[in-house]
Amino acid sequence: MASTFEVLAEPRRREILDLLRVRERPVNDLVEQLSLTQPAVSKHLKVLREAGLVEVRHEAQRRWYRLRVQPLVELDAWLAPYRRMWEASFDALERHLDSQGDE
């Protein structure tokens, strides 16, 4: 199975997640919003579902997709130390630039 990073590397999959972040959506709505064919959207949804990033709910003949936040929470937790490192670097740069303005 593909890693979360591999799955998120595809721009269209990120677009799907952005749409699902707002609300649960049926496949046809995603097709319309993305201007892709139904098979293309379904293929992306399958990859997202297999990676655990989305889940599907059946309602009569429709399939509704929604975002699963847990894998993203785990990804965010993994990125947290890097984010702190970047913030420290930006803070140091800001201090350096402020000190340059005093000279």
DSSP secondary-structure letter at 4? H
pLDDT tens digits along 32-72: 999 999 999 999 999 999 999 999 999 988 999 999 999 88
pLDDT the model gives residue 99: 87
Q: Are 53 and 67 contacting, i.e. CB atoms less than 8 angstroms apart? A: yes
pTM of the model: 0.78
> For the chain, what are the domain ranges?
1-67, 69-102
Average pLDDT in the chain: 90
Which band of pLDDT confidence, cut at 50, 70 and 90, is reported for residue 103? Answer: low
pLDDT the model gives residue 1: 47
Query: 1-67, which class in CATH?
Result: mainly alpha
Residue 48: how many other CB atoms lie within 10 Å: 25
pLDDT the model gives residue 83: 86
